[in-house]
A and B are shown apart, each in its own frame.
Chain A
């Protein structure tokens, strides 16, 4: 009964909430628009936006030294999670069956495990940093911890269900993933999409002013 609910209606409901919620959030950002800039342009806004979009992924030297742990942990987590989410064989099969109707090459098992390992290292390090660093602790809201906790639980239950022998473990993993999908659009996890807007906006403004920032 509960299994059917998780596997059926709740899955579709969470997917709809995720898609509609994300689109609404993005639409609200776009609708806010930009103030007209009447000053003469000293450089290209588009070039600045594109440059910023990429260059912000490469840390400045001083940041790379002082915040090395966060930098390394951040990359480990995001790269590991991306690989797990889109290239783990069980996930590829799930997408093919439930969403896309077609699959794509998945990671070999060993790479899948390595991805999970590095994602866990990164996530735990980042969460501990959030709790222990005096500034990030003060800046962090309940939303940040709930988001991090949900991602951690989804990853953990996924790893506990690796043997694929128990339906209850798969359903627990799916249920938590559904909670995450529902929570996602209303949380700071939206940075997965909005980072492109913020980087592009800053890059465009600076590019137009001719500032190399």
Chain B
């Protein structure tokens, strides 16, 4: 470092002149502060002049309810100067939806982690064998994964839009976050209708097998066998899966409906309708994500053999006996049990295999 003029070390000395200057400034501040404070106090307690427009603006704000006025401007809500519900909606979003939504998602993840630590992976007691049952057709697996892809994309982009300002903005900075938020919004809006299509395909394909029947309540009362060691017999779909299906269909319909109201403001929906649509969209979506987290857990790390049916189309016979006993018994009685080699042949995994099953290939 280059020494400063007048010094030998380069470190500025605390000279006498500098010290004097600092002392003078301190004295000046101490002398003038009481005067300044007194002046500020006088100004605060000065003459109160009421705002002559206060009454007018109080009326305009219409806190008690929406009161449209008259205007020549044609359009939805154009006669309403200020939407009184806007502030309520904003407060709900910022002070309730975002924090409580975050708690719900975090709580579910924590619950699943705790459950995994306590219960571990639910194994097939008899072990995975070499005999299989055909469970899902190619078409069923395709529409399942199509729904999964669209839902995950929508969930991710939706969560960025909802929580991004709190979680990502401080970390990313405004420029990168605004880009991400804009991309998420456009992607979310475009993929939304795809989820509606997926929902329709899933509904028509699976509805018949998801109608509640005798024995489902027993399954529910025994906790589905997931708590404890015993297994509860069930049909092709158990009560949990059926309930999951109906949640997907019913809650999913609200999500799609409210989403369409938000994306296409072409049918005269005003700001209040949009706010209600937003609230219902966000609440139902958070509920759906929480449910889907449970579904993903069971289908992946939570249960041995559960994913096979949706990836290969075939499930293990022992798994089916333990989790869908009534369906497995019916399949065994009908002679639908296949050995592993036969399944490999049907899936084209062995060279000597016959042509792929028309049942699997057909939609």
Residues on A with C-beta less than 8 A from B346 are: 134
Residues on B with C-beta less than 8 A from A113 are: 190
Q: Is A128's CB under 8 angstroms from B146's CB?
A: yes
Selected from B186, B197, B313, the residue in CB contact (under 8 A) with A159 is B186
Within the complex, the shortest CB–CB distance from A87 to chain B, in Å, comes to: 17
Q: What is the 8 Å Cβ interface bit string for chain A, positions 51-92, against chain B (1 contact, 0 not)?
A: 000000000000000111100000000000000000000000
CA distance A119 to B2 in the complex (A): 68
Is A25 an interface residue when CB atoms closer than 8 A count as contact? no
Is B231 an interface residue when CB atoms closer than 8 A count as contact? no
Q: Is the interface of A mostly helix, strand, loop or mixed?
A: helix
Residues on B with C-beta less than 8 A from A67 are: 361, 363
Stretch at the interface among B115-123, B135-143, B301-309: B135-143
Number of A-B contacts (CB under 8 A): 79
Chain B: interface size category: 20 to 34
Q: Is B348's CB under 8 angstroms from A135's CB?
A: yes
A69-B182 contact in complex given A129-B142, A133-B138, C-beta closer than 8 Å: no
Q: Tell me which of B142, B184, B361 has the highest count of chain A C-beta atoms within 10 A of its own C-beta.
A: B142
A68-B186 contact in complex given A129-B142, A168-B179, C-beta closer than 8 Å: no
Residues on B with C-beta less than 8 A from A168 are: 179
Is B130 an interface residue when CB atoms closer than 8 A count as contact? no
Q: Is the interface of B mostly helix, strand, loop or mixed?
A: helix
Interface residues in A, total, Cβ within 8 A: 29
CA distance A69 to B142 in the complex (A): 10
Q: Is A133's CB under 8 angstroms from B186's CB?
A: no
Selected from B146, B185, B313, B356, the residue in CB contact (under 8 A) with A125 is B146
Is A163 an interface residue when CB atoms closer than 8 A count as contact? yes
Residues on B with C-beta less than 8 A from A20 are: none
A134-B187 contact in complex given A124-B149, A125-B142, C-beta closer than 8 Å: no
Residues on A with C-beta less than 8 A from B32 are: none
CA distance A210 to B255 in the complex (A): 58
B-side residues, CB < 8 A to A, are 138-139, 141-142, 145-146, 149-150, 178-179, 182-187, 190-191, 193-194, 197, 311, 313, 346-349, 356, 358, 360-363
A-side residues, CB < 8 A to B, are 66-69, 113, 116-117, 120-121, 124-125, 128-129, 132-135, 137-138, 156, 159-163, 165-166, 168-169
28 cross-chain CB contacts under 8 A: A66-B361, A66-B363, A69-B363, A113-B190, A116-B190, A121-B146, A124-B194, A125-B142, A125-B146, A128-B149, A132-B138, A132-B145, A133-B138, A134-B346, A134-B349, A135-B356, A138-B348, A156-B187, A159-B186, A159-B191, A163-B185, A163-B186, A166-B178, A166-B179, A166-B183, A169-B179, A169-B182, A169-B183
